[in-house]
């Protein structure tokens, strides 16, 4: 039987170093999990005012600091990690998550369904949600609002995923209430 851990914490906005330290501590505590899922945009925090503010925290995949940290921690603790982060590529910004496997492989997913103000600073994802073979099973990825759209789940179900995971920031109105990771199907 595979175990799944959910790393819940409130990221410090605009402080990647502090958030990376929290991710490192939580990965150490959750090392018994086969799959450890972190919240949406947990490396940066969520409430960006504009694209200029986002630009200072967005990073490339697979060479950015979060990609490197994810690869290191997955190998060190022999677990599969999912970490939400702001991605930059080709002048665009995406609300993305990295999946890192213990063997050093990385996968990236870009949120398809943007919420409210997100569409003013992020581009929507350019590929359907992936199903990735990992030591924890076949894992399907979504981010936050993606789970509301049946085609996203249907896309993941077709290749017979074992687990579907959504990394989320929970909001009420314009106030962020907390960061959660939600199991959607096992």
Q: Which residues are catalytic?
A: 40, 111, 144
Helix extents (H) in the chain = 16-29, 51-55, 65-77, 118-121, 150-157
Q: Provide the token pair at 81.
A: 């990690």
Q: Are 111 and 148 in contact, with CB atoms under 8 Å apart?
A: no
For residue 77, give every residue at least 6 positions away whose Cβ sits within 8 Å of its Cβ, in sequence order, or none: 27, 28, 30, 31, 102
Q: Provide the token pair at 124.
A: 């929507």
Determine whether 37 is exposed, middle or buried from the number of CB atoms within 10 Å of its CB (0-12, 13-18, 19+).
buried
CA–CA gap between residue 51 and residue 35 (Å, rounded): 32
């Amino acid at each position: 039987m595979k175990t799944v851990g959910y790393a819940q914490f409130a990221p410090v906005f605009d402080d990647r170093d502090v958030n990376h330290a929290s991710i490192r501590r939580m990965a150490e505590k959750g090392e018994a999990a086969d799959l450890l899922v972190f919240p949406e945009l947990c490396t940066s925090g969520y409430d960006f005012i504009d694209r200029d503010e986002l630009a200072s925290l967005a990073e490339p995949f697979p060479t950015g600091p979060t990609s490197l940290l994810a690869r290191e921690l997955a190998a060190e603790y022999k677990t599969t990690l999912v970490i939400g982060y702001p991605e930059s590529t080709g002048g665009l910004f995406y609300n993305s998550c990295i999946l890192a496997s213990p063997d050093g492989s990385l996968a990236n997913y870009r949120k398809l369904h943007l919420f409210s103000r997100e569409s003013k600073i992020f581009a929507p994802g350019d590929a359907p949600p992936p199903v990735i073979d990992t030591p924890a099973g076949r894992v399907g990825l979504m981010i936050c609002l993606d789970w509301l759209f049946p085609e996203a789940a249907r896309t993941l179900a077709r290749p017979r995923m074992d687990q579907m995971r959504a990394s989320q920031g929970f909001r009420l109105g314009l106030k962020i209430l907390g960061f959660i990771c939600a199991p959607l199907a096992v």
